[in-house]
Amino acid sequence: MRAFGYAKKSISDGGLLEMGEVTFAGSSSTIREIARFLMAAADEIEKRQDRFDHAHIGDVCEGWQDEWPDIIVARSSQPED
């Protein structure tokens, strides 16, 4: 699995970028695993609300390989997101 993207703007001096586009290149089973992770994270955001900070795909998906990009879901601080 690989991830690619185009930066929209730099967010911090530490290298964090806001992405204008993100592409996931992987098998159908890997893409489904990403989808399951995103759905589960959305459920946790609704359930825990302000107590939810973030989740890493590698922490919850047993088959996620260390050499693959980490996918992180974070609760938005923006009310319109």
Residue-range domain boundaries for the chain: 2-74
Parallel, antiparallel or unpaired: strands 72-74 and 17-25: unpaired
Closest CA relative to residue 62, chosen from 20, 35, 33: 33
- pLDDT value, residue 81: 54
Can you give the pLDDT at residue 30? 95
Mean pLDDT of 47-68: 92
User: What local confidence, expressed as pLDDT, does residue 77 receive?
Assistant: 76
pLDDT number for residue 32? 95
| Cβ-proximal residues to 42 (8 Å cutoff; 6+ apart), any chain | 73
Summarised one tens digit per residue, pLDDT across range 2-45 is 999 999 999 989 989 999 999 999 999 999 999 999 999 999 99
Whole-number Å distance between alpha carbons of 45 and 62: 21
Residue 79 predicted with pLDDT over 70: no
Residues 6+ apart with CB under 8 A from 33: 57, 61, 63, 64
Q: What's the pLDDT tens digit per position in 12-23?
A: 899 899 999 999
